[in-house]
A and B are shown apart, each in its own frame.
Chain A
Amino acid sequence: MDFRLGSAAEELREEVRTFLDEAMTRELEERIYRSGTSYDPGYNAGLHERGWLAASLPAEYGGGGQDPVEVLVLAEEQQRADAPTYTNGTSVMVAKVLIEAGTEEMKRDVVPKLLSGQAICVLGFSEPESGSDVANAQCRAVRDGDEWVINGSKMFTTNGHIGDYVFLLTRTNTEVAKHKGLTTFLVPMKQPGVEAQAVYTLSGERTNITYYNDVRVPDSARIGEVDGGWKVMTVSLQDEHTGGYGSRIRRLLEEAEAWAEESGRIADPDVRARLAKVAAEQEVALLLQRRGIWMTEAGIVPEAEGPMSKLFSSEAFARASQDLFELLGPDAVRSYFDGTAPRHGWMEYAVRFALGTRIYAGTSEVQRNIISQRGLGLPR
C-alpha cells in the first residue's frame, strides 16, 4: 500500500498553491461572494495559461492532459481556496460529453472555446418538478422540419445568466418509459426565448430558473440520438462518481484551528477534542475520494465507492460546520466578511454553504440508494 499521491502530484500541489496564494486574495474572495457568481475571467485566464482549466482533457482538444491524480490535486487545492470554479466544472464536463457524443462541428467550434474559458456552458437537467429524479424531465422539444422547438423550464441553472450554452435535457417522446424519451441539445443561450431569472440561495450563491419559450435550434444542435438522451447523460454523470468535499472540510478545520490559536481556546480540552474529530473526518473524506480516483485509474468504476465519497464528505462537512459554528459561541453569528467577525466570518459562511453539498450532484438519499443497491446488493 502507498498513501502518497506521488512526487509529480505533490510538486503540482506546490505550484497550484503558489498560484492560488496570489490569485485568491481576500478581495477577490469577497467580490465573488458578494456577486453570488462563482466566476472570474481573470482567474480563469490564469488557470488556462497554466493548462489547469481543463486539466483532465487531452491536449489535442486544448486540455491540460493531466492524469486523474493531478486533476484531483487541482480540485483539492481550488476547493480549499474556495476558488471560482463552477463555470469550469460545468464547461469541462459538457466538453467531455461533446467529445464523446457531439457532432464534428461541436468538437471543432465549441469544445476549444469551452476548454479555454472563452465560452461557458451550464447544465439544464433539473426542473421545478424534478431534481434527483432527473429522468423525469418535462421540458419539451418538438421536431419542426430541420429544427426543434423547445418549451419548458429548468431549475438551478447555475451561471445561466452568464452562460453561452446550456446542455439541455428535453423530452422528445411521451409514449415510452421516461428514460427512453429524452434527447439532449447544446442550446445557445443568447437568443430570443431564453430567459434566466435569478434564484438566490442560502450560501449566497445566485443560481437561476431558466425559461425556454419557443426556442428554435437546428437539428445540428442535438447531442446523440433522438430519444437517446439518457445514454448521453450517463457520460456526463460519470464525473460525479468521484466527487468529494474533503478539502472544504480541510479549509473549515484550518479556519477553526487559526481561531483557536488566536483566541487561546486551543488549550481547552473540549475545543481540542472537537477539532481532532473534524481532523479525522477530513482525513476520511480525503481517503474515500482518493480511493475512488485510484480505482478509476486502475480501470474500475467506483460504482458504490464514488457515492460513498460524496455522501460521507458532504455529511461530514455539514456536521463539522455546524459543530465548529457552535464552538465559536455568540461570535459565530457574525456575517461572512463582516469586519467584526472572527476569521472573516468563515464559520457563518460554512454552516450555510455545507447544506447545499448534501443536495446538489445527487442528494444524500440518492447516494444511499446507490450504495445500498450496488455496494451492499440490497433489493430495490
Chain B
Amino acid sequence: MDLRLSDEQQQLVTALAALYARHASSERVRAAEPGGFDEVLWDQLLELGIVAMAVDEADGGWDASPEDLVLAAEQQGRAVAPAPAIEAQVAARALARLGRAELEDALTGERLVTIALHPAHADEALAVPAAAVADDALVLVGDRLLLVPLEGARAPFGNLGSMPLADVDLRAAHAVEVAHGAEALAVHDAAVDDWLRLTAGALVGVGAKALEIAVAYVKERKAWGVPIGSFQSVAHGLADVATALDGARLLAYEAAWAASDDRQRAAELAALAFAFAAEAARDVTDRALHYHGGYGFMMEYDVQLHWRRARSWGQVWGEPKAAYLRAADRRYGAVA
C-alpha cells in the first residue's frame, strides 16, 4: 500500500490549484452564475491540457492515469469551478474508444463535446450536463450512440447547482451515429463509470473545501465568550463528517487506482465511490452551513456555493441509492 502522490501528480495538483485560485475565485464563481461557465477559465484549462490529458498518447492525448484525473477533479470540486472538465474528459475518452476523428477537435477545444448520462427517451435527452455550453453531445438512443450538434437543439434551464444543464431535443438536431449495438452500449457504460469515478473525486473536493471553511469559521466565531468550535456538539459533528470525507477520498482514489490495476472491481468501486462521496459531500456541507448559524444561510457567505453543488453535481446522474444499485449489479450480477 502506498498513498503517496508521485512527483508528477503533486505538480499536477499544484498547477491546477494555482489555476483555480486565479481563475475560479469565489468572485469568478459567483460572476459565472447562474450559467455555470467561465470562458476564460475554460480556455486556461484547455491550454493546460485538461481534455487532452484524459486520452492516450496514441489518440493524441497525454495519457494521464485515472488517478491523475481524479486528483484533477478534486481540485475542480474544491474551487466549485464553473467549467465542464469532467464531461469533456469523459466524452473524449468515449470518442477515443471508438477511434472517431471528431476526437481531434474535442482535444483542442475546437469543439466542446459532452455526454448525456442517461439514454434518450421519446427523442429527448434530459438534464444533459454541460449541454448549455457544449457544441456536441454524445447521446445513447436505444442501442445507438449518436453525436448530436447542440445548437438549436438545446433548452438550458435554471438549476440548484448553477450548472450549464440543458434538455436536448433530438428531432431538432442533425445527429451522426458513432456506434451501435453492443459497442454503443459498452462505450456508454464505460463512460458512465468514468463519470461516476471522476464526479466522486469532484464531490470530495466540494466537501473538503466546505469543511475547511467551516473549521476556520468555528475557530473564529465566538458565543458566550468562547469559540463555538470548542463546543462538543459542533466539534463532534465536524469530526464525523471529516472522517467520512477522508473515507470518501480514499475510496475515490482506490476506484481510480482500480481502473487501471484491478479491472475486475473497477466498475463496482466507481459506483460505490460515487455513492459514498455524494453522501459525504451532502453531509459535510450540511454541517458546514449549519455551524455558520444565520450567516451560513446568507448568499454572501461562500459555504452555500458548496452546499448547492454538493447536492447537484451528482444528482444529475442520480441519487446515491441508484449508485448502490449499480454497484450491486456489478457485485451480484444484474437481475434477470
Contact B247 A377 (CB under 8 A): no
Contact A283 B272 (CB under 8 A): yes
Distance in Å: Cβ of B314 to nearest Cβ of chain A: 14
Query: Which residues from chain A contact B232 at a C-beta distance below 8 Å?
Result: 365, 368-369
Q: List the B residue with the shortest CB-CB distance to A284.
A: B247
A290, CB-defined interface residue at 8 Å: yes
In the bound assembly, the distance between CA atoms of A377 and B230 in angstroms comes to: 10
B218, CB-defined interface residue at 8 Å: yes
Contact A280 B235 (CB under 8 A): no
Contact A4 B242 (CB under 8 A): no
In the bound assembly, the distance between CA atoms of A93 and B234 in angstroms comes to: 34
**Which residues of A from 282 to 305 have beta carbons under 8 Å from B?**
283-285, 287-288, 290-291, 293-294, 305
The verdict on A290 contacting B215 (CB below 8 Å), with A284-B251, A308-B243 known, is: no
Contact B246 A377 (CB under 8 A): no
Contact A275 B254 (CB under 8 A): no
A312, CB-defined interface residue at 8 Å: yes
Distance in Å: Cβ of A108 to nearest Cβ of chain B: 37
Stretch at the interface among A76-84, A112-120, A206-214, A265-273: A265-273
Select A368's contact among B2, B240, B244, B261, beta carbons within 8 Å: B240
Contact B1 A266 (CB under 8 A): no
Select A379's contact among B230, B324, B336, beta carbons within 8 Å: B230
Contact A375 B239 (CB under 8 A): yes
B275, CB-defined interface residue at 8 Å: yes
A1, CB-defined interface residue at 8 Å: yes
In the bound assembly, the distance between CA atoms of A318 and B7 in angstroms comes to: 40
The verdict on A305 contacting B251 (CB below 8 Å), with A279-B272, A378-B229 known, is: no
Contact A312 B215 (CB under 8 A): no
In the bound assembly, the distance between CA atoms of A279 and B232 in angstroms comes to: 30
Select A276's contact among B230, B261, B331, beta carbons within 8 Å: B331
Number of A-B contacts (CB under 8 A): 149
Query: Which residues from chain A contact B5 at a C-beta distance below 8 Å?
Result: 1
Q: List the B residue with the shortest CB-CB distance to A277.
A: B324
A376, CB-defined interface residue at 8 Å: yes
Contact A277 B275 (CB under 8 A): yes
B155, CB-defined interface residue at 8 Å: no
**Which residues of A from 243 to 291 have beta carbons under 8 Å from B?**
257, 266-267, 269, 272-277, 279-281, 283-285, 287-288, 290-291
B316, CB-defined interface residue at 8 Å: no
In the bound assembly, the distance between CA atoms of A281 and B251 in angstroms comes to: 10
B248, CB-defined interface residue at 8 Å: yes
Contact A1 B4 (CB under 8 A): yes
Count of chain B residues with Cβ under 8 Å from any Cβ of A? Answer: 50
Secondary structure class of chain B's binding surface, majority of residues: helix
Distance in Å: Cβ of B1 to nearest Cβ of chain A: 5
Q: List the B residue with the shortest CB-CB distance to A373.
A: B235
In the bound assembly, the distance between CA atoms of A374 and B235 in angstroms comes to: 11
Query: Which residues from chain A contact B328 at a C-beta distance below 8 Å?
Result: 272-273, 275-276
Interface string of B298-319 (1 = CB under 8 A from A): 0000000000000000000000
B100, CB-defined interface residue at 8 Å: no
Q: List the B residue with the shortest CB-CB distance to A2.
A: B2
In the bound assembly, the distance between CA atoms of A284 and B275 in angstroms comes to: 12
Contact B236 A4 (CB under 8 A): no
Select B254's contact among A276, A281, A287, A376, beta carbons within 8 Å: A287
Distance in Å: Cβ of A7 to nearest Cβ of chain B: 13
Q: List the A residue with the shortest CB-CB distance to B333.
A: A266
Contact B219 A377 (CB under 8 A): yes
Contact B230 A273 (CB under 8 A): no
Distance in Å: Cβ of B224 to nearest Cβ of chain A: 14
Contact B235 A372 (CB under 8 A): yes
Q: List the B residue with the shortest CB-CB distance to A272.
A: B328
Contact B239 A372 (CB under 8 A): yes
Contact B238 A378 (CB under 8 A): yes
The verdict on A273 contacting B321 (CB below 8 Å), with A5-B1, A280-B251 known, is: yes
A371, CB-defined interface residue at 8 Å: yes
B167, CB-defined interface residue at 8 Å: no
- Give the residue among B4, B248, B251 with the most A Cβ atoms within 10 A: B251
Query: Which residues from chain B contact A2 at a C-beta distance below 8 Å?
Result: 1-2, 257, 261
B60, CB-defined interface residue at 8 Å: no
Query: Which residues from chain A contact B327 at a C-beta distance below 8 Å?
Result: 276, 279-280
Distance in Å: Cβ of A183 to nearest Cβ of chain B: 31
The verdict on A371 contacting B272 (CB below 8 Å), with A272-B332, A293-B1, A377-B215 known, is: no
Contact A305 B235 (CB under 8 A): no
Contact A371 B243 (CB under 8 A): yes
Query: Which residues from chain A contact B257 at a C-beta distance below 8 Å?
Result: 1-3
In the bound assembly, the distance between CA atoms of A42 and B5 in angstroms comes to: 45
**Which residues of B from 187 to 245 have beta carbons under 8 Å from A?**
215, 218-219, 226-227, 229-230, 232, 234-236, 238-240, 242-244
Select B250's contact among A4, A287, A367, A371, beta carbons within 8 Å: A287
- Residues of B whose CB lies within 8 Å of any CB of A are 1-5, 67, 215, 218-219, 226-227, 229-230, 232, 234-236, 238-240, 242-244, 246-248, 250-251, 253-254, 256-258, 261-262, 269, 271-272, 275-276, 321, 324-325, 327-329, 331-332, 335-336
> Mind listing 25 A-B residue pairs with CB under 8 Å?
A2-B1, A3-B253, A3-B261, A4-B261, A5-B1, A272-B325, A276-B275, A276-B327, A285-B247, A287-B250, A287-B254, A288-B250, A294-B1, A294-B3, A308-B242, A308-B243, A368-B236, A369-B236, A372-B236, A372-B239, A375-B239, A378-B215, A378-B218, A379-B226, A379-B230
Cβ-closest 7 pairs across A and B: A284-B247, A272-B328, A372-B235, A276-B324, A371-B239, A368-B239, A378-B229
Beyond A277-B324, A280-B275, A291-B250, 12 extra complex contacts between A and B, CB < 8 Å: A1-B5, A272-B328, A272-B335, A276-B271, A279-B272, A308-B242, A311-B239, A368-B239, A368-B240, A371-B243, A376-B242, A378-B235
